[in-house]
């Protein structure tokens, strides 16, 4: 990874020690703290088009989740080391190390799942939560099992080890690149900066990180879903303000309940929302609209 471009000039690099190794961060700005948490199969590089602008109003803390980017990728079995509850404790360790008892969080994809789990588990820590292009994990699995879901990679990656590791490891660049291209609005890799793609490829071409991503999805199929269902049954909801940014070309499907409505009937009854002209990768496909929606919400 030593030849990768620095997409966050002016940001300070920090590695924070945790029980599972180290979590890598980049920090800039001097305003209220804002954690930026990436999704699959990416790294913090996905924020490179909007993080500098956000740092003009916030102390931005961009984080590589465990198993991704420059953070440690501990071995795990049956998803135990990659539940969103466990990954949320990594974020708390980072923010504690930086001296932030309370902070806002914007998460995309898997990072958004870590964010809403953290919000439910630690209701006093978040001041605001922006969820980029997801529905609750339990809802995604409900759709998959009902035959109405459009996420076949979920059960594929969640299969028992080592089958998905071997399948995706045969040609990881083709496997993960094809997934990403298929989720964009124009069904290609054109929206992504070549330098950012090099960061993503550095991760998914490493066997330990392929294993980590599979464990991430195994946790989603079991531990994360169970946590969602337990909280939903108990009537628990997210205490802080929530804003849902949904892509018009990926998350929002004709005939399917809108993402904002799903969040309002599950964990965020008072959530607000914005539809973004984009495929799944909002911060890279439509950085301007994503930045505008985040600032309007977070600066309110």
How far apart are alpha carbons 40 and 52 in whole angstroms?
Answer: 22
pLDDT above 80: residue 173: yes
Across the range 196-222, mean pLDDT stands at 98
Average pLDDT, the chain: 97
At residue 26 the predicted structure's pLDDT band, cuts being 50, 70 and 90, is very high
User: Do the domain assignments include residue 1?
Assistant: no
pLDDT above 60: residue 141: yes
User: Do the domain assignments include residue 176?
Assistant: yes
pLDDT above 50: residue 25: yes
Domain count, the chain: 1
The CATH number of residue 238's host domain is 3.40.50.1820
8 Å CB contact between 223 and 77: no
Q: Which residue has the higher pLDDT, 56 or 253?
A: 56
User: Do the domain assignments include residue 215?
Assistant: yes
pLDDT above 90: residue 196: yes
Short-list 226, 256, 205, 255, CA closest to 84: 226
Short-list 278, 291, 292, 269, CA closest to 249: 278
* Sequence-distant (≥ 6) Cβ neighbours of residue 296 within 8 angstroms: none
CB atoms within 10 A of CB 1: 11
How far apart are alpha carbons 40 and 216 in whole angstroms?
Answer: 9
User: Do the domain assignments include residue 3?
Assistant: no
pLDDT above 50: residue 1: no
User: Do the domain assignments include residue 53?
Assistant: yes
Across the range 106-133, mean pLDDT stands at 98
pLDDT above 50: residue 52: yes
Sheet strands side by side (includes 242-247): 12-18, 21-28, 59-63, 33-37, 103-108, 126-132, 242-247, 272-276
pLDDT at residue number 255: 87
User: Do the domain assignments include residue 31?
Assistant: yes
Across the range 73-78, mean pLDDT stands at 98
At residue 19 the predicted structure's pLDDT band, cuts being 50, 70 and 90, is confident
User: Do the domain assignments include residue 16?
Assistant: yes
Report the percent of the chain where pLDDT is more than 70.
99
Report the percent of the chain where pLDDT is more than 90.
95
pLDDT tens per residue across span 258-272: 999 999 999 999 999
pLDDT above 80: residue 2: no
Across the range 68-89, mean pLDDT stands at 98
CA atoms within 13 A on the CB side of 288: 1
Q: Which residue has the tokens 């198993």?
A: 67
pLDDT at residue number 20: 83
What range does the domain containing 60 cover?
Answer: 12-298
Active site residues: 109, 280
């Amino acid at each position: 990874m030593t030849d990768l471009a620095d997409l966050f000039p002016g940001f300070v690099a920090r590695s924070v020690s945790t029980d599972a190794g180290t979590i890598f961060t980049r920090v800039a700005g001097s305003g209220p703290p804002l954690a930026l948490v990436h999704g699959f199969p990416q790294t913090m590089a996905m924020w490179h088009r909007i993080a500098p602008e956000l740092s003009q109003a916030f102390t931005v803390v961009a984080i590589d989740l465990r198993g991704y980017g420059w953070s440690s990728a501990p071995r795990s079995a049956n998803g135990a080391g990659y539940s969103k509850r466990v990954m949320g404790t990594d974020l708390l360790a980072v923010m504690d190390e930086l001296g932030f008892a309370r902070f806002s969080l914007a998460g995309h994809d898997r990072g958004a799942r870590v964010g809403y789990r953290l919000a439910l588990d630690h209701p006093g820590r978040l001041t605001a939560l922006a969820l980029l292009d997801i529905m609750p994990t339990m809802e995604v699995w409900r759709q998959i099992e009902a035959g109405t879901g459009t996420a076949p990679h979920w059960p594929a990656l969640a299969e028992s080890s080592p089958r998905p590791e071997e399948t995706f490891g045969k040609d990881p660049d083709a496997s993960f690149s094809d997934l990403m291209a298929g989720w964009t609005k124009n069904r290609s890799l054109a929206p992504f900066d070549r330098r950012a793609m090099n960061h993503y490829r550095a991760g998914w071409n490493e066997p330990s990180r392929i294993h980590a991503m599979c464990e991430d999805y195994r946790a989603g199929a079991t531990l994360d879903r169970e946590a969602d269902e337990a909280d939903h049954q108990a009537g628990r909801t997210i205490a802080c303000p929530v804003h849902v940014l949904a892509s018009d070309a990926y998350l929002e499907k004709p005939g399917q309940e809108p993402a904002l409505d799903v969040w309002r009937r599950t964990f965020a009854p008072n959530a607000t929302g914005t539809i973004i002209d984009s495929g799944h990768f909002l911060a890279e496909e439509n950085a301007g609209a994503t930045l505008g929606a985040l600032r309007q919400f977070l600066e309110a």
